[in-house]
């Protein structure tokens, strides 16, 4: 079986608060949890995660780290480093040595997401840069070249040599190859600056060890604070008034009564389009009495009005949304939109 290794012992110096693997994604998962949520782990039996002691003592002192990964249904092994390593590659090396791993390994970066089935083979994961995969800072990536048989011919760190980039997924059919190549590079002082896993693989190619390439799907990059902010900005929770915004205004006492009014079609169509992206939650707010809940739900279903929840019994008065902001949840985190009653201007304002 394959061992999945997730090194999380870097300084995260590009992020200004806690280590990036501890940041909360819009769906509520930590970045480290979401980073492996797209992986098919059928052929994986154990997961090894390496943390820095300083981070654990400061942020996770009373946290059961293994429980964070219970959703994988795999055996979890935690390794805590006393000191910062010189590179991600050294972190992986120390992890393999610490646990005496002699099996196939798959190394996964903690600061991105993609879908992929891990298999037992020498390969790296990649995507092609195109209109579907627009990478904001490609010069921070490692680039690859490969032949028609999808065999790797070259891998180069932070130098653009093709339109294919490595996405931080590296599979070694034999962990001892990783160890021996690392030891050789260190002993001969072949790399003067930071030692990347791409250097290990490049050295393997020089030794005529074959590496294949596997294209992944649904790639999301969280490597920098800018990319993280861009990702989070796609998600929204909308608190939307019902009467006068989603349906034409109605009343408890006068016609049309609550539950009987027609939808404001342009607004409903626009919200449905947003809702189908799976990046928007809609909370309907209303001064309607909860005694009219059944009639309201029937009305929403009849006109296919999307929502996740409804809040009844609000005051028929001013509403104020209050939310906090931080370095990783940038200002402003709350926005208000005031619409003239029964108009369909929301689609022009909310993009």
Report yes or no: 101 and 211 within 8 Å, Cβ to Cβ: no
**Across 2-6, 17-21, 274-278, least confident range:** 17-21
Q: What is the pLDDT of residue 133?
A: 73
Percent of the chain residues past pLDDT 90, beyond the cut? 76
Which range (9-13, 179-183, 276-280) has the least confidence? 9-13
**pLDDT above 90 (res 236):** yes
As beta bridge partners, residue 212 has 123, 151
Judge whether residue 14 has pLDDT over 60. Answer: no
Across-strand partners of 24?
30
Least confident of 117-126, 191-200, 205-214: 191-200
Q: Could you give the CA distance from residue 203 to residue 104 in angstroms, rounded to a whole number?
A: 18
What is each CA distance from 255 to 246, 249, 291, in whole angstroms? Answer: 17, 10, 18
* 327 pLDDT above the threshold of 70: yes
- Among 109-118, 120-129, 187-196, the minimum mean pLDDT is found in 187-196
Q: What is the pLDDT of residue 261?
A: 96
pLDDT at position 186 over 90: no
Which pLDDT band, with edges at 50, 70 and 90, does 330 fall under? confident
- Which residue is it, tokens 């020498």? 122
**pLDDT reported for residue 16:** 60
Q: In terms of Cα–Cα distance, which of 162, 168, 124 is closest to 143?
A: 162
Residue 142 confidence (pLDDT): 87
CA dihedral angle for residue 54, residue 56, residue 61, residue 65, rounded to 10 degrees: -170
User: Three-state SS string across the chain, please?
Assistant: CEEEEEEECCCCCCCCCCCHHHCECCCCCEHHHHHCCCEECCCEEEEEEEEEHHHHHHHCCCCCHHHHHHHHCCEEEEEEECCCCCCHHHHHHHHHHHHCCCCCEEEECCCEEEEEECCCCCEEEEEECECCECCCCHHHCEEEEECCCCEEEEEEECCCCCCEEEEEEEEECCHHHHHHHHHHHHHHCCCCCCCCHHHHHHHHHHCCCCCEEEECEEEEECCCHHHHHHHHCCCEEEEEECECCCECCCECCCCCECCCCCECHHHHHHHHHHHCCCCEEEEEECCCCHHHHHHHHHHHHHCCCCCCEEECCCCCCCCCCCCCCECCECCCCCCCCCCCCCCCCHHHHCC
pLDDT band at 13 (very low <50, low <70, confident <90, very high): low
Q: Supply the pLDDT for residue 130.
A: 81
Domains and CATH numbers, the chain: 2-226 (3.90.550.10), 236-349 (3.40.50.1000)
């Amino acid at each position: 079986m394959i061992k999945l290794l997730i090194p999380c012992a870097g300084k995260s110096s590009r992020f200004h608060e806690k280590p990036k693997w501890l940041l909360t994604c819009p769906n509520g998962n930590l970045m480290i949890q979401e980073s492996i949520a797209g992986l098919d782990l059928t052929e994986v039996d154990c997961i090894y995660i390496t943390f820095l002691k300083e981070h654990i003592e400061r942020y996770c002192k009373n946290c059961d780290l293994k429980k964070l990964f219970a959703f994988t249904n795999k055996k979890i092994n935690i390794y805590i480093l006393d000191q910062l390593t010189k590179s991600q590659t050294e972190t992986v090396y120390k992890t393999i040595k610490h646990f005496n791993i002699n099996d196939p390994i798959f190394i996964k970066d903690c600061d991105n997401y993609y879908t992929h089935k891990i298999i037992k083979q020498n390969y790296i994961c990649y995507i092609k840069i195109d209109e579907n995969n627009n990478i904001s800072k490609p010069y921070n990536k490692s680039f690859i070249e490969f032949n028609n048989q999808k065999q790797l011919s070259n891998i180069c760190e932070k130098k653009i040599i093709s339109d294919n980039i490595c996405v931080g997924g590296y599979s070694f059919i034999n962990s001892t190859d990783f160890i021996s190549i690392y030891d050789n590079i260190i002993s001969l002082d072949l790399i003067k600056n930071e030692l990347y896993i791409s250097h290990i693989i490049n050295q393997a190619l020089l030794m005529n060890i074959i590496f294949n390439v596997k294209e992944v799907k649904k790639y999301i990059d969280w490597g920098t604070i800018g990319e993280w902010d861009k990702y989070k900005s796609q998600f929204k929770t909308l608190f939307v008034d019902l009467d006068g915004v989603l349906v034409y205004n109605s009343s408890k006492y006068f016609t049309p009564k609550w539950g009987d009014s027609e939808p404001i079609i342009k607004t409903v169509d626009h919200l449905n389009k947003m809702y189908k992206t799976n990046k928007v939650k809609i909370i309907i707010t209303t001064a309607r009495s909860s005694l009219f809940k059944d009639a309201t739900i029937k009305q929403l279903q009849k006109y296919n009005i999307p929502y996740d929840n409804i809040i009844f019994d609000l005051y028929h008065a001013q509403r104020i949304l209050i939310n906090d902001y931080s370095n990783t949840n940038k200002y402003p985190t709350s926005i208000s939109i005031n619409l003239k009653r029964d108009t369909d201007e929301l689609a022009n304002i909310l993009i």
